[in-house]
Amino acid sequence: MPSWFEWAMLAVAAWVVASCVLGLLVARVIAAGSTPSDGVAAWEGEAAKASRAAFEEEAARQRVLVVDDDAPLRSLLRATLSSDEFDVREVASAEEAREILRFWRPRIILLDVNLPGLDGLSFCTELARSDDHRDSAVVLLTGEQISETTARLAGARAVVRKPFSPLDLIALVGRVVGGRDFVSGAPNAEDGQLLLYARDLASIAQAERSQRQHLQQAYRQTATALAEAADVRDRATGLHAKRVRRYALDLAEVVDRSLLEDPSLEYGFLLHGVGKIGIADQVLLKPGPLTDAERELIRAHPAIGAEILRGVTMLQGTGIDVVRHHHERWDGAGYPDRLVGERIPLGARIFAVADTLDAMTTDRPYRAALDWDDAVEEILAQSGRQFDPDVVQAFLAVETKLHNAYEELSLVA
Ligand SMILES: [Fe+2]
């Protein structure tokens, strides 16, 4: 029998597990998009929509009655199932259950077998024979080995063995609600109840971590594909975005490693040029010199890009600053906002070096690529003019690494 301390720990663990499961469910609902009722509700006022949503939410919650004389276990079950999905009530005996069932019809009754007074199997049989409770599915809770035949004969729909895994319990309740066949619970675990909660908590944390990694990977792949699509309009390949992302990440690691804690920075590096989508081909792809008006159009791409990406969650943070300010200059002669020195966001100051390095070391329609060493000389010459001197110092520290990346990514082409 667990101590009071263990019960307290279990209650906390149950709450955490229930919150995590709810969080994952909510994330899934958000990922799945809008609900089918969205179109119907569009014409309704905000207040009507809110009350309708509250009504639907209440109606959708599954009622669960817990019948167990073990008060801490009842609390644990309530905490495990309490969420937007379930409406849980609890009583300590079959006699109390009879009273509550006169006016409250649950979808699931979690029924302890060893109850004082009328025992669980007898009460289960009583419920099965009653027309009033035909829609309530009884799940027997027991620490004993009750056979499936015995449970079926008593009219139960499932058996849960104590101690139970909270995730198994939630899954079992879902299967009972969703079907009519008998559901066999997992065999009795040899671990204690606390350990089972701890294990489930660890597995939820692991699942949440890997979901987050998958999401980041999907974001990165999407951003890369979009950046490459934008690149191929005015460059022979989509490798520019890949190279500048690599240069800028290597530079950021030396300038201020903490910048990399914001994932939006990398998306800003990748999507810096997306504003070129808004510039006509005859201007963007013009082989000869540009007129002043055409130059102004080209210079609009950072502001256009920032506007396109303004509402995109994965760019919120330092990423959107890179998109808008990657053509600012340290001396204030850049665009679009003519920011000076440290008023330029650091991510954009770093990216300016990476972007210029790549522009100088790759062939363009109007000029051939510079040698790597000549490009390095030019970046050093622009320290304190076009570029932040600290970023140029960092560039010197990682220049060999960037050169290796340049050769590696040029070979891919
Ligand atoms: Fe640009």
Q: Model confidence over 184-197: pLDDT tens digits?
A: 777 666 778 788 88
Q: Both tokens of residue 381?
A: 């010459």
Cα of 130 vs centre of ligand 1, distance in Å, is 75
pLDDT band at 290 (very low <50, low <70, confident <90, very high): confident
Residue 286 domain boundaries: 217-412
Answer yes or no: do 186 and 234 share one domain: no
Cα of 412 vs centre of ligand 1, distance in Å, is 23
Measure CA of the first residue to CA of the last residue in the chain; give whole Å: 67
The residue type at 295 = R
User: What is residue 331's predicted lDDT score, i.e. its pLDDT?
Assistant: 97
Answer yes or no: do 143 and 235 share one domain: no
pLDDT greater than 50 at residue 373: yes
Cα of 359 vs centre of ligand 1, distance in Å, is 10
Closest listed residue to residue 252, CA positions, set 395, 378, 357, 380 = 395
Q: Model confidence over 120-178: pLDDT tens digits?
A: 999 999 999 998 888 899 999 988 878 889 999 999 999 988 888 888 888 888 888 88
Distance CA(140)–CA(122), nearest Å, equals 11
Answer yes or no: do 25 and 77 share one domain: yes
Cα of 284 vs centre of ligand 1, distance in Å, is 12
CATH code of the domain containing 247: 1.10.3210.10
Share of the chain above pLDDT 70, in %: 82
Assigned domain for 45 exists: yes
pLDDT greater than 80 at residue 16: no
Closest listed residue to residue 118, CA positions, set 100, 92, 144 = 92
CATH code of the domain containing 96: 3.40.50.2300
Cα of 157 vs centre of ligand 1, distance in Å, is 65
Assigned domain for 212 exists: no
pLDDT greater than 70 at residue 398: yes
Cα of 111 vs centre of ligand 1, distance in Å, is 67
Cα of 41 vs centre of ligand 1, distance in Å, is 43
Assigned domain for 49 exists: yes
Answer yes or no: do 286 and 161 share one domain: no
pTM: 0.62
Assigned domain for 73 exists: yes
Answer yes or no: do 240 and 158 share one domain: no
Answer yes or no: do 272 and 309 share one domain: yes
Cα of 391 vs centre of ligand 1, distance in Å, is 18
Distance CA(309)–CA(274), nearest Å, equals 9
Answer yes or no: do 152 and 222 share one domain: no
Assigned domain for 204 exists: no
Q: Both tokens of residue 327?
A: 């053509």
**Overall domain count for the chain:** 2
Q: Examine the fold and report which residue of 175, 190, 205 is the final residue of a domain before the chain moves on.
A: 190
| Cis before 336 (ω within 30) | yes
User: What is residue 33's predicted lDDT score, i.e. its pLDDT?
Assistant: 35
Answer yes or no: do 121 and 169 share one domain: yes
Answer yes or no: do 281 and 341 share one domain: yes
